[in-house]
């Protein structure tokens, strides 16, 4: 019978092992202005039918995404050509009271309270990084903005997230139902940390569609008057699901209002990649750019224009992601979540990776050298809890076995002792019998019997005596 290699083995057959010092290491990662860079010389010479370099009509940026938009995804998106990256919504109150901790090894900055609240890497992303906050009040928004100011190049207010974790406290899409509050938050940010303050931060807002085109335009007009620098319109209403088609009816008007107010406008919703973005930007005359979420979540290389090769295959992107994640010591739970979004669900590798508990497991499956510090590679908190439980159970089992062994030993000794005692009492009876036989004829008879081993412990002697 011919044994076929396992899927994992088969995958390995085609893969090189990338050491950390390879061309994939961060030392070689450059910033991203490749969008309008000339094609590589050999492709120009060799392939006359290469696509013409299209005009770049506007920026293509990474959307804010809880979980998926953490540091590693942002850095990789920048590497692949995103012009700006938005961070995941972070609640203003969770930032207030945080300690800012620099990690000299990775160059990252952690905002920490009881746990890690937010990680940024100013040396690699600051000039293109916009911090998005969830807020419901001007004072907490300003306080949080001041805390994070030195590590970011813009503050964005989430005014579109329909999820209960955002809306329950009056944040996200709840602000679209309380426009005076939204305006007061933006006014406060502009006045306290905006471009004309020592913090010099551009303030922006991300909204969803209002119930009608007119209401959407009216809201945008009001928002532009607060002094904001950027505005993103997610072309869905709050109740719309992510898979429902984005509605672009309000786009031309929204773009025009922002253009007239000098506010950079970004379209969001169903933009698939760099080339798609340029088409939308051109079609709706957008002075700003297009923002990508889900397409970037499943392939951060969607920022590479087609004339430069276009999006890369998942295998290469996952490798790059892993190297990026290890270089910033990205938490394993986030790394695993993000790469599982990139590997096609039907691929065997998806199953293998979903079983991984540590960076070593992930690297082993992907045939990569693991550079994640071993002492930190303990898996997710859940894994750690499961491991601790398993260790406790193993210890209890060992203690149970030890107790059982001791009990068995005790019983064995007890049995030995009673055997000895029986022997001794037997001997004593014989001796007594001999002694008595020396004095009377009866005892002589008993002694004779005892000598022939007819006297047994526990009554045999008495019986003999009675007979006699």
Ligand X SMILES: Cc1cc2nc3c(=O)[nH]c(=O)nc-3n(C[C@H](O)[C@H](O)[C@H](O)COP(=O)(O)O)c2cc1C
Does position 268 interact with ligand X (CB under 6 A)? The reply is yes
For 71, phi then psi, to 5°, come to -50, -45
**Interacting residue with ligand X among 74, 124, 206, 230 (CB under 6 A):** 206
**Interacting residue with ligand X among 63, 142, 145, 201 (CB under 6 A):** 63
Torsion sign (Cα): 362, 367, 372, 378: positive
Does position 336 interact with ligand X (CB under 6 A)? The reply is no
| CA 352 and chain centroid, separation | 17
Candidates 63-71, 274-282, 389-397, 415-423; binding stretch for ligand X (CB under 6 A): 63-71
Please identify, using beta-carbon distances, which residue of 120 and 295 lies nearer to ligand X. Answer: 295
Distance between CA atoms of residues 210 and 231, nearest Å: 15
Q: Quote the DSSP letter at residue 301.
A: G
Cβ 302 vs Cβ 292: under 8 Å: yes
Residue window 83-122: x/- pattern of binding to ligand X, with contact defined by CB under 6 A: -----xx---------------------------------
For 61, phi then psi, to 5°, come to -130, 155
Residue window 275-294: x/- pattern of binding to ligand X, with contact defined by CB under 6 A: -----------------xxx
Q: How many CA atoms lie within 13 A of 263 on its CB side?
A: 27
Please identify, using beta-carbon distances, which residue of 302 and 446 lies nearer to ligand X. Answer: 302
Please identify, using beta-carbon distances, which residue of 171 and 464 lies nearer to ligand X. Answer: 171
Q: Nearest CA to 56 among 289, 259, 252?
A: 289
Q: Shortest Cβ distance from residue 98 to ligand X (Å)?
A: 18
Spell out the residues 6+ positions from residue 371 whose beta carbon is closer than 8 angstroms to its own.
Answer: 20, 326, 327
Three-state SS for 170?
A: coil
Does position 363 interact with ligand X (CB under 6 A)? The reply is no
Does position 269 interact with ligand X (CB under 6 A)? The reply is yes
Candidates 73-81, 153-161, 346-354, 417-425; binding stretch for ligand X (CB under 6 A): 153-161
**Interacting residue with ligand X among 130, 136, 161, 433 (CB under 6 A):** 161
Does position 65 interact with ligand X (CB under 6 A)? The reply is yes
DSSP of 206-225, one letter per residue? EEE--SSHHHHHHHHHHHHT
Torsion sign (Cα): 109, 83, 239, 299: negative
Candidates 155-163, 252-260, 359-367, 378-386; binding stretch for ligand X (CB under 6 A): 155-163
The active-site residue, picked from 98, 108, 121, 161, is: 161
Name the β-bridge partners of 133. Answer: 90, 157
**Interacting residue with ligand X among 132, 226, 301, 330 (CB under 6 A):** 132
Distance between CA atoms of residues 212 and 227, nearest Å: 24
As given in the structure block, the two tokens for residue 203 are 């303030």
161 is catalytic: yes
Q: Shortest Cβ distance from residue 156 to ligand X (Å)?
A: 8
Does position 271 interact with ligand X (CB under 6 A)? The reply is yes
Please identify, using beta-carbon distances, which residue of 206 and 357 lies nearer to ligand X. Answer: 206
Token match 């695993």: residue?
336
Active site residues: 161
Q: Which residues bind ligand X (CB under 6 A)?
A: 63-68, 88-89, 132, 158, 160-161, 206, 234, 242, 268-271, 292-295, 297
């Amino acid at each position: 019978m011919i044994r076929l290699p396992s899927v994992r083995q088969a995958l390995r057959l085609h893969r090189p092992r990338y050491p950390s010092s390879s061309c994939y290491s961060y030392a070689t990662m450059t910033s991203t202005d490749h969008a309008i860079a000339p094609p590589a010389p050999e492709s120009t010479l060799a392939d006359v039918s290469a696509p013409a370099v299209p005009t770049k009509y506007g920026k293509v940026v990474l959307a804010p995404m809880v979980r998926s938009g953490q540091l590693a995804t942002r850095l990789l998106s920048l590497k692949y050509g995103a012009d700006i990256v938005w961070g995941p919504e972070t609640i203003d109150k969770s930032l207030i009271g945080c300690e800012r901790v620099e990690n000299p090894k990775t160059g990252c900055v952690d905002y920490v309270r009881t746990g890690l609240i937010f990680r940024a890497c100013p040396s690699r992303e600051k000039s293109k990084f916009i911090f998005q906050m969830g807020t419901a009040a001007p004072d907490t928004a300003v306080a949080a903005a001041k805390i994070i100011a030195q590590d970011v190049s813009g503050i964005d207010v989430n005014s579109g997230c329909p999820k209960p974790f955002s809306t329950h406290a009056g944040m996200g899409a709840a602000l679209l139902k309380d426009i005076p509050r939204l305006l007061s938050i933006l006014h406060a940010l502009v006045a306290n940390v905006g471009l004309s303050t020592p913090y010099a931060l551009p303030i922006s807002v991300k909204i969803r569609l209002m119930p009608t085109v007119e209401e959407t335009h009216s809201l945008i007009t009001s928002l532009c008057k607060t002094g904001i620098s950027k505005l993103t319109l997610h072309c869905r209403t709050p109740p719309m699901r992510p898979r429902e088609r984005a509605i672009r009816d309000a786009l031309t008007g929204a773009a025009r209002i922002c253009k007239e107010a000098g506010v950079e406008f970004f379209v969001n919703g169903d933009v698939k990649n760099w080339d798609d973005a340029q088409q939308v930007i051109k079609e709706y005359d957008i002075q700003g750019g297009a923002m990508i979420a889900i397409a970037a979540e499943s392939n951060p290389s969607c920022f590479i224009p087609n004339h430069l090769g276009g999006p890369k295959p998942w295998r290469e992107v996952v490798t790059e992601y892993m190297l990026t994640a290890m270089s910033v010591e990205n938490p394993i739970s986030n790394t695993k979540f993000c790469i599982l979004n990139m590997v096609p669900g039907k691929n065997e590798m998806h199953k293998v990776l979903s079983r991984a508990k540590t960076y070593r497991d992930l690297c082993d499956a992907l045939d990569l050298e693991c550079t994640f510090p071993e002492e930190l590679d303990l898996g997710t908190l859940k894994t750690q809890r499961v491991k601790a439980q398993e260790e406790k159970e193993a210890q209890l089992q060992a203690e149970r076995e030890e107790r059982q062994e001791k009990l068995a030993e005790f019983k064995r000794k007890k049995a030995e002792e009673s055997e000895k005692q029986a022997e001794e009492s037997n001997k004593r009876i014989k001796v007594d019998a001999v002694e008595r036989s020396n004095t009377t004829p009866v005892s002589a008879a008993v002694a004779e019997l005892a000598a022939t081993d007819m006297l047994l412990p526990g009554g045999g002697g008495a019986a003999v005596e009675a007979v006699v």
